[in-house]
Chain A
Amino acid sequence: MNQPLPAGGRSTRVAGAAARWVLGKIGGGLFVLWAVATAIFFGIRMIPGDPAEAIMGGPGSQASAEALAQARADYGLDAPLYVQYFSQLWRLSTGDLGTSYSLKTPVSEVLGELVPPTLVLAVLALLVAWALALVVAVLSTRSGALGSALASGLEIVSAAVPHFWLASVLIMLFATALGWLPPVSTNAPAGLVLPVATLALPLAGFLGQVMRDTLEAAHRSPFALSARARGESETGVLLRHSLRHAALPGIALSGWAFGSLLSGAVVVESIFARPGLGRSLLSAVTARDIPMVTGVALLSAGAYVVIMAFSDLAERLADPRMAGS
């Protein structure tokens, strides 16, 4: 630790480490996608009921035995399980997500329509959560012990609030009682406010807790004192030193946070009747629409893998101490 780095060969070693890192991320990501595809394939077959019925329009469709047999043959459901498994893996690996049982359209087409609204929701929620967490953290370091305690209480409460409850309260308050915002979400800015707030507030609580702790510690640290002794202003200490330290745990948590936003979207999109991946996943599971469930799950897993890689990369860029690890 105390030894300075040797001068020679550093750049080639860094390049080698970067290549290893990228290959590791790709390999790990492929493994995760395979594991998800496998878990979904076997998991969904444990739900009682006949997928052929789902193809024919659900349990209430009263399709004839011949029609069901025909559907099984059409969709390859009469083959042995291992044959189905490997042919599905093969199709998925060529990028073919299959055709939705209930919608009868290619899954990739359906997903293409559903991804943008959910992505807008999740990204906005993440940004708002970061902004809220930072504002509360900065304000609390400026307002002493009382402000810090108040911020901490606020963060714990908001982190503990479940999405469905928060959504109901927000609808009752801002849509029903005050009438300021629509209770049903649209892509118009006003329609986005309540769903984004529902997702962002609990996340802001989580992020705020770790970021405020780090910010306060950085503000009290000897390097902050050094900076002040150099003539740095409080704002300068915040911008050039403390905020960067506070961002580190936030960045580390953001990959995880994005995953939790995707699962939060299931609840929020249903409550606000908003089209998106989450709501479609819910209806696809209910309808035993195997290709749709598989497609949504793989897409979410893929998005999660990519986001985690980016958050890891962002962490390395923000914290040069991690570059060697």
Chain B
Amino acid sequence: MNATAPLLRVENLDVAFGETPVVLDVSFTVNPGECLALVGESGSGKSVTARSLIGLAGPGSTVRANALEVAGVDARGLSQRAWRSIRGKRVGFILQDALTSLDPLRKIGKEIDDALRLHGSGSGAARAARVVELLEAVGLDDPVRRASQRSGELSGGMRQRALIASAIALDPALVIADEPTTALDATIAAQVMDLLGGLRAAGSGMLLISHDLAAVANLADSIAVMQGGRIVESGPAERILGDPQHPYTRALLAAVPAGKPRFAPLSPASTRASTPLPDTPQESQAGGRPVLRAEALSKSFTVPGGPDFAAVKDVGFELHAGRTLGVVGESGSGKTTTARMALGLLAPDAGTVELFGEPWSQVPEAARRTRRSALGAIYQDPLSSFDPRLSAGALLADALSFGATRNPRKHAAKISELLALVGLDKDLAGRNPATLSGGQRQRLAIARALAPNPRVLICDEPVSALDVSIQAQVLDLLDDLQRRLGLSYLFISHDLSVIRHMSDEVLVMQGGKIVESGPTEAVFTAPAHPYTRTLLAASPGVVSGR
């Protein structure tokens, strides 16, 4: 193979499932030591494109191209046997979500060993040594023990590293990574990106796939933006990020919350609710009595066969009317446990929660029930919070009537009003939520939370499962509702740029404790605690954007 020849040359690639075209006329090249990022939202065809490059577009697919050269091999019309000799050996493929991308029944050492064994690399002992070497190379501590663990025993970051180790076991010339950091916390994601950057520096060609332009900005040499199966714009990374030409690229960049001031819209006007806003934001009463106040909350959980796990330690905060209090921290920092105590779903071991100045956490549920309507909640995964047998309208009727009826006809007018409020068509009332898109589902979850006319919404990672462009729409909607209805938000997220864009005040949590708190701008521009500085360093766009 000629050293200067491209590792990947794709010309006029078309992929269709049956009669439905999914990828249309896609062309690009990747040279050794170069990283191309393929960016677009769910359904834009980027994952199918990536899978076509290793002959795994899926059952029922037709792949056509004028040129499809993968690691120096003309891959058009390749037999399955020939494909297998390329996969894993010349092309390493890293899927997103390593929890399900590694077989939960097998040791990760076995999974990595498979890649070596399948391509006939060395004896059993040599392979075992190579597995340990690989685990060490991707930065796992105690690699010998890790090799004998299964994916369920590892944290998210460790799993992603193990998955990368299995993909690069044979030093493939080309690495394809499909959303390699999407499910990870900021500091872990930054480490994984560093790891991929190291592979590129060592001479691997790389195809990086993501829905988030900001996530690929540091690594990509060039960027191709996909929409509806086509590449709508492509070029050097600096040009695409600095001077985007296509409206869709601009919309994707605008959707990134990093560096956008509070209440600045992130999504194009066409996707936002059409009714005009009141000119001035609702009067916020920072000096008044807090609507939600927590003092010295603590909660421990018993762990079978181990010491108790202190999930939340001495956490206190005040949320004022019409304001947003952001809570930021990585998985396991106690954010959700705090939210559950604030909602009155979990009794604190110590400390109190007050709602509108009256006791909330320390009174029995019977005394809370009449006041529950003032407090709403939305979660990361709306679908699992919906009863799968109910239509969207029935879900809203249920919430509007406090569980008295699920007949949408009884509340037809109010249901239409709620759907309009969150920017959904009223015809969606008859649909089952499972048939809605991710963004529509989260809008429906917000409509349901708004049904009892709450004053406070507790939002637990409300946009973490969404593409950047859909996230922008949902964040804009929450902004819009706050100003229209004077809502207060307790807004939980692991994403610093989202927190900075949405919050008036912010709490930084680590290991169940608040390590830093204060007005958002003060915390983000002059972080006092080392952990806050670590978090900010791991999310480059958040600081430099402004």
Instruction: Give residues in A with beta carbon < 8 Å to B.
Output: 1-7, 13, 17, 144, 221-223, 225-234, 236, 240-241, 244-245, 318-321, 324
Contacts and interface: CB of A to CB of B under 8 A. Distances in A.
Contact of B103 (A7, A229, A241, A318): A241
A87 B158 CA distance: 62
B262 interface: no
B155 interface: yes
Interface in B335-394: none
Nearest to B84: A231
B114 A230 contact: yes
Contacts of B132: none
A234 B84 CA distance: 10
B238 interface: no
B219 to A, nearest CB: 21
Interface stretch (B87-95, B270-278, B466-474): B87-95
27 contacts: A2-B155, A2-B331, A3-B155, A4-B149, A5-B153, A6-B306, A7-B145, A221-B100, A222-B95, A225-B56, A225-B101, A226-B93, A226-B163, A227-B111, A229-B54, A229-B88, A229-B91, A230-B87, A231-B115, A231-B119, A233-B84, A234-B80, A240-B103, A241-B103, A318-B105, A319-B105, A321-B105
B287 interface: no
Contacts of B102: 223, 226
Nearest to A224: B103
A321 B88 CA distance: 28
B174 to A, nearest CB: 12
Contacts of B114: 227, 230, 232, 240
A324 B152 CA distance: 12
- A-B residue pairs, 3 tightest by C-beta: A229-B93, A231-B88, A230-B88
Among B85, B89, B105, the most chain A Cβ lie within 10 Å of the Cβ of B105
Interface string B109-146: 00100110011000000000000000000000010010
Contact of A232 (B118, B145, B149): B118
A2 B184 CA distance: 12
Contacts of B150: 320-321
Given A4-B149, A231-B118, 8 more contacts: A2-B156, A5-B149, A226-B111, A230-B114, A230-B167, A232-B84, A233-B84, A241-B103
A222 B56 CA distance: 12
Contact of A228 (B56, B149, B305): B56
A144 B18 CA distance: 14
Contacts of B249: none
Contacts of B288: none
B201 interface: no
A3 B103 CA distance: 18
A128 B142 CA distance: 45
A228 B54 CA distance: 9
Contact of A222 (B86, B97, B153): B97
Contacts of A144: 59
Contacts of B156: 2
A1 B304 CA distance: 12
B122 to A, nearest CB: 15
Contacts of A13: 305
A225 B100 CA distance: 10
Given A222-B97, A222-B101, A223-B102, A229 B155 contact: no
B87 A4 contact: no
A6 B106 CA distance: 20
Contact of A231 (B89, B104, B155): B89
A324 B149 CA distance: 13
Contacts of A244: 105
A226 B95 contact: yes
B332 interface: yes
Interface in B458-503: none
A230 B331 CA distance: 30
Contact of A236 (B59, B86, B111, B118): B118
B154 interface: yes
Among A225, A226, A320, A321, the most chain B Cβ lie within 10 Å of the Cβ of A226
Nearest to B150: A320
Interface in B155-180: 155-156, 158, 163, 166-167
A13 B303 CA distance: 13
Contact of A226 (B153, B155, B166, B331): B166
Nearest to B307: A6
Nearest to A325: B304
Contacts of A5: 149, 153
A290 to B, nearest CB: 46
B306 A225 contact: no
B438 to A, nearest CB: 18
Nearest to A247: B105
A21 to B, nearest CB: 13
B166 A321 contact: no
Given A7-B145, A229-B87, A232-B114, A320 B105 contact: yes
Among B89, B103, B119, B167, the most chain A Cβ lie within 10 Å of the Cβ of B103
A223 B100 contact: yes
Contacts of A230: 87-88, 93, 114-115, 118, 166-167
A222 B100 contact: yes
A222 B111 CA distance: 13
Contacts of A221: 100
A4 B100 contact: no
Nearest to A228: B56
B332 to A, nearest CB: 6
Interface string B39-58: 00000000000010010100
Nearest to B118: A231
Contacts of A236: 118
Among B89, B114, B154, B158, the most chain A Cβ lie within 10 Å of the Cβ of B114
Nearest to B153: A5
A169 to B, nearest CB: 38
A229 B150 CA distance: 20
Contacts of B95: 222, 225-226, 229
A319 B104 CA distance: 9
Contacts of B87: 228-231
Contacts of B331: 2
B103 A231 contact: no
Among A4, A236, A240, the most chain B Cβ lie within 10 Å of the Cβ of A4
B126 to A, nearest CB: 18
